[in-house]
Amino acid sequence: MLLCDIGNTSLHFYDLQNDYKESVEQFDPASIEEEVYYICVHPKLKKRLYELPNWHNLEEKVDRSRYYDTMGIDRIMACEAIKNGVIVDAGSAITVDVMQNGIFQGGFIYPGARAFEQAFASISDVLAYELPNKIDLSHLPKNTPEALAYGFLSGLVKEINSYDLDIVLTGGDATLLQRHIPKSKVDRLLLFKGMLSVLGKI
C-alpha cells in the first residue's frame, strides 16, 4: 500500500517506511500497480486519477461536515492527524488550523515566503529582496531586508503562539518557522498520519 499527497507541483509518496517526491509534470500515475490512497489538490491530475482503478481518493472517506465547504483537503488531512493542537502547514501558502478534542475550531491562511517576496516586489522595486533566512525577532530591524523578513514572520509567530496549545509544523518551510517557535515540533509526515487515521489504520 502507498499513500500519496498531491500538491500543485509534486506527488509526495509514503510507503509506511520511506517517503519520496515525484514531479506532477513528469510522473505517470499509471506506472504504479500497487493500491494507492491519495489526496489531490491538482485539478487536472485529479480527473486523470479517477480513471485508474488502483488509485483511491481518500477525500471521499472524510466527513467534510466537520470542517467547511471550501477547505482544502490537505488542511483537513493534517487536522485529522491531531486531536489537540495548532497545525501549521508551511508551503506556498501557510495554513494555521486549531483542533480541540478532535473538533475543528477554525483556521487562517497566510502567504508563504515566496508569495511574500513577490508581494513586496510588486509594491516597489526598493522592496524587491530575497527574504533573509536568519532574522532575530527579539528587536525591531534597522535595514530593509530584515524589515521585510520581520514583517513576514513576527506577527505570524505571535499569532501561532497565542493559542496555548501544542504546535505541530509541517510543509517545506516548517524548519524555518521552528527557529522562531522553539516549543513546536516538526512532523513532515503529518498529512500521511491523517490519511492513515482516515483509513482506520491508527
CB of 112 to its own copies, least distance (A): 7
Task: Single out the segment in contact with its own copies by CB under 8 A; choices: 23-31, 62-70, 172-180, 194-202.
Answer: 62-70
Task: Single out the segment in contact with its own copies by CB under 8 A; choices: 19-27, 29-37, 93-101, 168-176.
Answer: 93-101
Q: Which three cell numbers mark 95? A: 495554513
CB of 160 to its own copies, least distance (A): 8
- Could you tell me how many helices (H) and strands (E) the chain has, helices first? 6, 10
CB of 45 to its own copies, least distance (A): 14
Residue 199 interacting with its own copies (CB under 8 A): no
Q: Look-up: residue for cell 530591524?
A: 141
How many C-beta neighbours within 10 Å does residue 58 have? 23
The 36-40 sheet, strands edge to edge: 19-23, 10-14, 2-6, 36-40, 55-57
CA distance 131 to 144: 10
- Taking a C-beta distance cutoff of 8 angstroms, is the pair 80, 198 a contact? yes
- CB nearer its own copies, residue 111 or residue 172: 111
CB of 123 to its own copies, least distance (A): 5
Q: Which of 155, 175, 201, 202 binds its own copies (CB under 8 A)?
A: 155
Which H or E run includes 182?
A: none
Residue 159 interacting with its own copies (CB under 8 A): yes
For this structure, is 89 an active site residue?
Answer: no
Q: Which of 15, 63, 69, 74 is catalytic?
A: 74
- Taking a C-beta distance cutoff of 8 angstroms, is the pair 189, 31 a contact? no
- 17-36 residues near its own copies, rule: CB under 8 A: none
What x/- string results for residues 109 through 148 when contact with its own copies is judged by CB under 8 A? xxxx--xx-xxx-xxx-xx-----------xxxxxx--xx
CA distance 59 to 77: 9
- CB nearer its own copies, residue 51 or residue 140: 140
- Taking a C-beta distance cutoff of 8 angstroms, is the pair 129, 119 a contact? no
CA distance 32 to 15: 13
Q: Which residues are catalytic?
A: 74
Which positions touch its own copies (CB under 8 A)? 8, 41, 67-72, 92-94, 96, 98, 104-112, 115-116, 118-120, 122-124, 126-127, 139-144, 147-148, 150-151, 154-159, 162
